[in-house]
Structures are given as C-alpha cells and as structure tokens.
Structure 1
Amino acid sequence: MKKYILGACLSLFGLISLPAQKTFTNPLLPTGPDPWIVHQDGYYYYTNTLGNRLKIWRTKSIENLATADTATVWRPPASGPNSTLIWAPEIHKMDGKWYIYYTATDVADNGDHNRWVFVLENDHEDPLQGTWIDKGKVNTNYSGLDGSVFEHNDQRYFVYSAYIGPQSVLCIAEMINPWTISENQPELAFPQYDWEKQGGRQILEGPQFLAGPEDKMFIIYSASACWADEYALGMLTASKNTDPLDPKSWIRSPEPVFKQAPENNVYATGHNSFFKSADGSEDWILYHANTGANRGCGWERSPRAQQFFWRNDGTPDFGKPVKPGKVLAIPAN
C-alpha cells in the first residue's frame, strides 16, 4: 500500500508519470459503410461493405483498426445469384465455426426484387485463414437484405429487412441451422412515422438485437433511405419473457433513438452494430455517418464508435453522435 501512495504522491509532483490512457478519434477509417464488429477470442473482428468482396480486419484495440491485420476472405463469382453488390457483411462465431452473412444480387438482374442474404462458413479457428465455404442463400420468404443473427433463451433467431410492396419491413424467424430458417417469418414492423420515410423511400433496415441489463430486449434498426441526412436509428422494445416471434411483444419508440447532429457535423447516422469492451464492462455502438450534409449513400460514409449507457428504466441511452476528431478513451481492456 505504501508504494502506491508514494507513487501517487511522486506523480503529483511530476517526478514520475503514470501510463497514459489510450485514446482514439472518429472516424475509425476514412470509409466503411455498414460497419460490423465483435470481440471474440481476445480480438476485435471488424468488417464493412466493400461492394465487390468480403474483408476482415483483426486488432487487439480499436484505435489500431487502420493498421490492423486484414484478409480478403471471399470474392463473388462472375455470375449467379450472389455475383454483385456485396453489402452489409456480419461475422459470427457459432458452435465453433465462423459464419459471414452478407447481402448480394445477380449481376444479370440486380434489382431489389432479386436481392438476398447469403452465408459463408469457415471451420478454421482463425477467420483470416482457412476456407470459406458458400452455404448458399438463406431461405427467406421475401427478397431482402441486412440479415443478422442473435440468440435468446437458447434459441437462435434471424432478422432481416424484407422487400414487401414499396417498403422495407423487419421480419424475424427461428433458425434451424446457420443457413436455414423456419418458414414462419412474421413481420415485426413496417414504416409508420415520417422520420422512417425520408429520402423518398419507406425503409426499415439493418436490424440489430440488443439485450438489456434487466428484463428488456431491443431491436435497433435503421430508418429512411441511407442517402438522406435524416437516416436514423429506431427501436423496438420487448420483455425478455415474451416470444420474439410475436409482433405484439414489441413496442415501437415513436421517435429516433439516435440521429444526425448538425452541431457536431455528423449526418445520416445508421446501420449500426453493438459490441462489448474487451473486459465486458462497457457497451459500445458502432455506426456509419457522413461528415457534412448532403453527402449521400456512397463511400464517404465512415465508421464511428462511442460508448453508450443505460437509463434507470433499462433502456439504452445512445446520446448524440460525437464530433469527428473528438478524443475518446478506448474500450476498457
């Protein structure tokens, strides 16, 4: 105890210096739409939309993402149902194997009516190595995009954005295995509010599951067209004791829970994922946004991360998107 007191006193007088807190600033990369990250086996594994391939970044700390180990793990075939417009990849580890879920379409017929979610599998312990096997198209009832996986009460679920009529709606299904889902795929939510219909489209996409610290669970989704500055995050809330497949279990928040902050020069905030700090003590949100208004839905979208907290009622408080260049402490180790 005495040496710690002495060290603190010496530090106060400038005689010794304690280790500096590691920091980072947003954006994490110059470009990176639809970012996804997970902490697994001592590393952060990251990926984002590249359009023509799938790539994985691996790093011990997110401030080093720009210099992380990387590997292009898959390129699309020249033709066929998953041959172009490779979007929104997510990497998951389940039952000792790695899986990547991604959206793609056919170069010969690349409209929304022919856009689907596909799966790759790799049984190597290191996802940057091994062989990624094409497990084909997830058997969704509708064409769609942005497939994601979560587990609740020992059951895995698949959520995605389905094209139904002129809208993109959120659907859910039980998973039979990592590439097959039940034919029962109820619609959880459809565009309802004006803030979900900006940019000339009625869109709910990018669903992400979030388990609360108490008795609530959430699906956070992106609303409106990605090219609109008003692109924002909405939230569905349910009790952990209810059936996730029952649309009546979910209550919609009437306002966005995370949106543009012109005062911080951050626009079109959306398509997020969630991750824990390495020590499991902190909750973080990863999302893409534009630095500047009217930048559209292209490669200027860049990945940003910030810690979020929980309100007394058990709901998440994401705060405001932080200003680019603001110094932030890295996730706790």
Structure 2
Amino acid sequence: MAGFIAMAVVLGSMLVGPAAPASAAPVTFTNPLAEQRADPHIYRHTDGYYYFTATVPEYDRIVLRRATTLQGLATAAEQVIWRKHGTGEMGAHIWAPEIHFIDGRWYVYFAAGRAEDVWAIRPYVLESSAANPLDGPWVERGQLQPARSSFSLDATTFVHDGQRYLAWAEYAGSNSNIYLARAVNPWTYAGTPTLIATPTYAWETRGYRVNEGPAVLIRNGRIFLTYSASATDASYAVGLLTASADSDLLNPASWSKSATPVLASDSRTGQWGPGHNSFTVAEDGSDVIVYHSRNYERYLGNGYDPLSDPNRRTRIQRVYWNADGTPNFGVPVPDGVTPVRLRAHDLPDQYLRHWEFRVRLEPNVANLADSQFRIVAGLADPAAISLESTNYPGYYLRHRDHQLWVQRNDGSDLFRQDATFVRRPGLADPAKVSLESVNFPGQYLRHRDGLAYLEAVSDAAGRAAATFALD
C-alpha cells in the first residue's frame, strides 16, 4: 500500500501538476487528430512517448498507439491490445478506455456490457507490466471493486495530496451522476462513493439527463474536474466542477459547478457535440484538452441514433488560463491548424483581439476566440502569412486606411494584399515576431493607445509596440 501511494504521488503529479511555461513559439496541431475515434484519452509518459486510446465505432476492442509528439499520434501505427469476450461480462459496448501508469504498471479503465445484456454496463480494469503497453500481455482485473450494482462507466483516476482517487459516472433514478471515492489500489475503492455532480441545468438535460466522462486537471490551488452532459448528439457539451486544493474532496459541498458549459457546439467553427475529454501536456509545456466532436449538426429525432454514428473525431487544442487562475477552453476550434494568440512584447499581459471587428489590444480576453488567429499561407503570397479569425472562419486580419480590422475575404486582389504579412524576427526581440505589410513594405502591425495600426516604426518604443510573442 505504501509503495502504491508513493509511486502514485510521483506519477500523478506528472499528469496534473503545475505546467511548465509555454515557449515563445507554441506547438500547434492539425485537427482532427484521428477520424472515428471517440472518448479519447492521451497519457504522456516518462519514456518520452504519448499513449493514445479511444472508443472505436464497432465497440468491440481496445486500441492503443504511441508517438513522441502529440501530432505524431495522427499517423502512428495502432495496435489492438484487447478484444471483447464472446459471452458473459466484457462482451459488448466496449467504451471509453483510458490508459494510466501506476506503481510501475500500466492500467486501462474501460466500460463494457454483457454479451447477453449489452446495457448491463460496468467499469472494468486491465493491467500490464510490459515496458511498452502496446506489446502486452494484459491481465483482466475485472470490475471496479466493490462491484457497482447499476449502469456505470467512464472510470478515471488521479492523485491529489498523496491520495489516489477513482471517479466514474453512474445511473441513479433518471440521472447519470458523477461519483468520487478514495482508491485502495488501481481497481479497488474504499468506503461509500460520494455523489459530486448531478444534471440540473437545462444544457445538461437535452435528450437525456447526463453528467459523465470526468477528467481532472490540478492547477493554481484548485481541482478542476470537467465532465460531459446531455445526449451524445450535437447537444453534448463539457461542464466544469471546481474544488479548492485544501478542501475535503469527498465532501460534496467542496465542489462548485459552473452554470454554463465551458465547451459547446459552435456553428461558426463547424464543430458539434464536443465532449468526453481528457487532458495532457504538450511538448512545449502547455496544457492541452483532448476531446471528440462531429463536423456536422445532428440531434436526436427522425430515427437518428448518435451511438450508431461512427463519425466522432479526436481533436486537441491548447487550454488557456484566465487571470483568476481558472481554465479557458474557448470554442472548439475549426478543423486544420490550431490557432495562436499575439501577446504584446511591451505589455505582456495584453493580446490582440477583435471587438466589433476592430483589432485592439486588451488584457484578460474572456471570449478567448476573439484573440485567437490561425496562421495560414499568405492570401497574396504563399511565402508570406495571413491570420484567420478562429470564431469567424473566412475572416482575416487586414489593414484598411492603416487601421487593423478582421473582415471577410471578399476575393479581391486588394483584400488579399491587405491581409498578407511577412513574418519577421521581432523588431524589439528577435525571438518573437513582427508582421510587415506586403503592400506597404517597411510598415508593421503595431499597437498604439489600445488599438492596432499599420505604421512605420523608427524608435525603440515603436519597435516594442510592433513586436509580439506567439502564445
């Protein structure tokens, strides 16, 4: 037991401890990371590999892949590490696998029904002592113990303050709720589980009354537990529970629930039903949310069954942090390369953002997507760059009468030139960037009096105002 707890502290802190500062050139990703892979879970291990598992649409097996980078998981070879039983327990609906490394061994948590009763779903655990979990072999530890007596799934685990916890979702009455318990070992919990979340808000009860898919991120003196709510169609959304790091996590009063979802369908970015997330850390030390969504809108009705729809896709994007230490997930970003923010060199707590389409500089941008831009090949010169708005795809940062705006590409030569910039080493810091106009050489994007302009810069203050860190 002592060895289990000691190793859990070390390995758990790797997953959910303080993140390293992000570098000046953040890692970007291309979405989707994987087609037809739902309920994704990515674990970053000390061996230098990321391990990725997810639900397959046939619901009949557990797959695993690994790569030394997050983006590398997109093309990594996939290995089947376990298949469902032909009869009895673990014989149907193989859902939501998670992989964890605990006390020197690998563990996979997953949900499964009985072959003869596919809705008798419970959480199960596999164990492997292999150095490379793709090689196996895997031992079946059976149901989470003590065994649950009702529909239950989505088991996860985390360590806080030297104690490992197990969390899962379970049906009770007309609701799917989230429960938390202290772990004795990776497949056994002690005492009576604590109910910490039940669906109460309208956005949690669309189609079904659901709180499920818990995932934990520990930062800034708080425990953040995300969960997914409502039916698994376009209604699906991510909610947030928060507890103080010094509170009793098994006291329901320690947890507060955000009144609105923190990640939801977005018609502008073309992402529907984001949910069932996990967290990992990117190569640059930044926090990353891993989740699935569909790229089309479908709701229950007219015979539509989301569980028969295979097209949930694994996606990843950076987690940002508000000034008060809470996470900001923004919107599910459009497919393609993930966006960045431009942080002022001389005002490092302030970012370029659009407000009523005028580009300005502001701190604490609560509507995160207003400050996110996707760097793409220049509209007027593919060797240069253009910056596409995240929450208004097809709109680009462009200068007009030497003011900076975010506007829709009208296809004209003038627009393409106004929206194209040459990326230069930062005028005030070569490790950062400055953006020079292609049609007004020598003039740079800069901020002045809280607004963004295109101007020539000649003094130190101007060079500083025309220099930005990518964040």
- Provide TM-score, normalisation by structure 1: 0.88
Contact 1:42–1:278 (CA<8 Å) still a contact in 2? no
* Greater Rg by CA: 2
1:68-79 maps to which residues of 2 (within 5 A)? 68-79=76-87
Q: Mean alpha-carbon deviation: is it higher for 26-35 or for 96-105? A: 26-35
Give unpaired runs (5+ residues) of structure 2: 1-24, 300-305, 341-471
Query: Residue 35 of structure 1 aligns to a residue in which SS?
Result: strand
1:3 maps to what in 2? none
2:36 maps to what in 1? 31
Asked if 1:152 corresponds to 2:157, the answer is: no
Asked if 1:174 corresponds to 2:182, the answer is: yes
Contact 1:36–1:89 (CA<8 Å) still a contact in 2? yes
**Which amino acid in structure 1 is aligned with residue 53 of structure 2?**
T
Contact 2:35–2:311 (CA<8 Å) still a contact in 1? yes
What's the CA shift for 1:25? 1.6
2:287 maps to what in 1? 283
What's the CA shift for 1:230? 2.1
Q: 1:307 aligns with which of 299, 311, 318?
A: 318
**Which amino acid in structure 2 is aligned with residue 282 of structure 1?**
S
Q: Deviation per CA, 1:232-288, whole angstroms, max 9, x where unpaired?
A: 011111100001111000011111011111101111010000001135x20000100
Asked if 1:319 corresponds to 2:330, the answer is: yes
2:228 maps to what in 1? 222
Pair 1:306–1:327, CA change in 2 (3 A)? closer
- Provide TM-score, normalisation by structure 2: 0.63
Query: Residue 325 of structure 2 aligns to a residue in which SS?
Result: coil
Query: Residue 117 of structure 2 aligns to a residue in which SS?
Result: coil
Pair 1:23–1:255, CA change in 2 (3 A)? closer
| d(CA) in 2 for partners of 1:66, 1:152 | 31
Contact 1:39–1:278 (CA<8 Å) still a contact in 2? no
1:58 maps to what in 2? 66
Asked if 1:110 corresponds to 2:118, the answer is: yes
1:206-217 maps to which residues of 2 (within 5 A)? 206-212=213-219, 214-217=220-223
Give unpaired runs (5+ residues) of structure 1: 1-19
**Which amino acid in structure 2 is aligned with residue 98 of structure 1?**
W
What's the CA shift for 1:225? 0.9
1:17-28 maps to which residues of 2 (within 5 A)? 23-28=28-33
| d(CA) in 1 for partners of 2:210, 2:338 | 33
| d(CA) in 2 for partners of 1:36, 1:49 | 9
1:15 maps to what in 2? none
1:191 maps to what in 2? 199
What's the CA shift for 1:22? 7.2
| d(CA) in 1 for partners of 2:291, 2:171 | 23
Pair 1:71–1:241, CA change in 2 (3 A)? same
Identity of aligned residues (%): 38
Contact 1:25–1:328 (CA<8 Å) still a contact in 2? no
**Which amino acid in structure 2 is aligned with residue 129 of structure 1?**
D
| d(CA) in 2 for partners of 1:172, 1:21 | 35
Q: Deviation per CA, 1:112-169, whole angstroms, max 9, x where unpaired?
A: xx21000000001110113100000002444301000000111110000011011100
| d(CA) in 2 for partners of 1:93, 1:289 | 27
Q: Deviation per CA, 1:43-89, whole angstroms, max 9, x where unpaired?
A: 11000002101110101122222321321111122111111110000
The runs of 4+ residues in structure 1 deviating greater than 4 Å are: 20-23
1:205 maps to what in 2? 212
Pair 1:22–1:318, CA change in 2 (3 A)? closer
